[in-house]
C-alpha cells in the first residue's frame, strides 16, 4: 500500500509556495536589505514565511496564533537583521529559532492548553512517526494531541516529522545535541501513540 502524502494528512491553510531560487540567495538578500533595499526583504518574506507559518501552526494548532507569530518573526527581522550570521547556520533554521522564542513568550503570557478528544480507537507503535500515526486518525485530534505534548517533545515532532528537518537541522534550531533530538523524538512519538490507544475496558 503506498504511503499517504503528508499534505493530505495535515492540511494547512492555503499559502503561497516558497520559491526555491530565493533560498540559495539568502545571504545576498540579507545584505541588500541591511543596505536599505526593501524589495530584498519582500523576497525574503515570500521565500520563508510559509515555513515559519507551518512551524508555528503545528506548534499551536491555531491558525490565528500562527499568523500572529509569523508576522512577529518578520517584524523582528526588520529590526534585527544584523543578528543573522550565515556562518552559524542557514536562514530557515534561524527564523525557526526566532519563532520558537516568540512562541515561548506567548506561552508564558497565556498558559493555555487545548482540549483533547481521546475517543479515537487505533493502535500505533511508538517507533512510527507522527505522520504515520496521522494517516489513520482525524487531523484535528492529531493537531490537538501534538499541541498537548510537553514542549521539548512537541518541538522535535514538529521540526523532524512535520517540517521534515534533519536531526542536524533540528539540533541547530533548538540548540541541542543530535542525540537529544533523537531521544525527544522517540519519546514524543511514544506519547502520541499512547494518546491514541483505546482504553481497556474494566471487566467485572
CATH code of the domain covering residue 77: 1.10.1740.10
The CATH number assigned to the domain holding 136 equals 1.10.10.10
Same domain as 99, residue 39: yes
Same domain membership, residue 83 and residue 148: no
Instruction: Note whether 102 and 139 are same-domain residues.
Output: no
Whether 124 maps to a domain, the answer reads no
Q: What's residue 75's pLDDT? A: 92
Residue 193: C-alpha distances to residues 116, 137, 173, 179 (Å): 14, 11, 25, 21
* pTM metric for this prediction: 0.60
Residue 45 has pLDDT above 60, yes or no: yes
Mean pLDDT of the chain: 75
In a domain? residue 64: yes
Range of the domain at 106: 15-110
With a pLDDT cut of 70, the percent of the chain lying above it is 69
Query: pLDDT value at position 173?
Result: 85
CA–CA separation, 30 vs 40, rounded Å? 7
More confident site: 128 or 65: 65
Query: Rounded to 5, what percent of the chain is helix, strand, coil?
Result: 65, 0, 35
Domain end marker among 110, 143, 168: 110
Whether 165 has a pLDDT exceeding 70, the answer reads: yes
Contacts (Cβ under 8 Å, ≥6 apart) of 86: 26, 27, 30
Domain contains 151 = yes
| pLDDT tens by residue, 51-72 | 999 999 988 888 888 999 999 9
The pLDDT, as a whole number, for residue 110 is 60
Q: What whole-number distance in Å separates Cα of residue 13 and Cα of residue 50? A: 10
Q: Are residues 19 and 106 in the same domain?
A: yes
Q: Which residue has the higher pLDDT, 144 or 15?
A: 144
pLDDT at res. 141:
76
> Could you tell me if 106 and 74 lie in one domain?
yes
| Mean pLDDT of the region 114-137 | 46
Residue 125 has pLDDT above 60, yes or no: no
Residue 202 belongs to a domain: no
Q: Mark whether 35 and 71 lie in a shared domain.
A: yes
CB-count exposure of residue 50 (10 Å: 0-12, 13-18, 19+): middle
pLDDT value of residue 4:
33
Q: Flag whether pLDDT at 17 surpasses 80.
A: no
Query: Domain check: are 67 and 101 in the same one?
Result: yes
Phi/psi of residue 144, nearest 5 degrees: -70, -40
Residue 74 has pLDDT above 90, yes or no: yes
Amino acid at each position: 500500500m503506498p504511503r499517504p502524502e503528508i499534505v493530505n494528512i495535515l492540511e494547512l491553510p492555503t499559502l503561497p509556495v516558497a520559491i526555491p531560487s530565493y533560498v540559495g540567495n539568502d545571504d545576498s538578500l540579507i545584505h541588500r536589505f541591511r543596505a536599505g533595499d526593501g524589495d530584498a526583504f519582500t523576497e525574503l518574506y515570500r521565500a520563508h514565511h510559509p515555513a515559519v507559518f507551518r512551524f508555528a501552526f503545528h506548534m499551536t494548532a491555531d491558525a490565528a496564533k500562527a499568523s500572529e507569530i509569523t508576522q512577529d518573526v518578520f517584524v523582528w527581522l526588520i529590526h534585527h537583521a544584523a543578528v543573522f550570521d550565515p556562518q552559524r547556520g542557514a536562514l530557515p533554521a534561524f527564523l525557526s529559532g526566532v519563532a520558537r522564542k516568540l512562541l515561548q513568550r506567548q506561552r508564558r503570557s497565556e498558559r493555555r492548553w487545548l482540549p483533547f478528544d481521546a475517543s479515537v480507537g487505533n493502535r500505533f507503535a511508538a517507533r512510527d512517526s507522527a505522520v504515520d500515526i496521522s494517516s489513520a486518525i482525524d487531523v484535528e485530534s492529531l493537531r490537538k494531541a501534538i499541541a498537548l505534548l510537553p514542549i521539548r517533545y512537541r518541538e522535535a515532532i514538529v521540526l523532524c516529522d512535520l517540517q521534515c528537518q534533519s536531526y542536524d537541522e533540528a539540533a541547530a534550531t533548538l540548540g541541542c545535541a543530535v542525540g537529544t533530538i533523537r531521544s525527544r523524538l522517540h519519546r514524543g512519538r511514544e506519547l502520541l501513540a499512547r494518546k491514541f490507544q483505546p482504553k481497556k475496558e474494566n471487566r467485572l
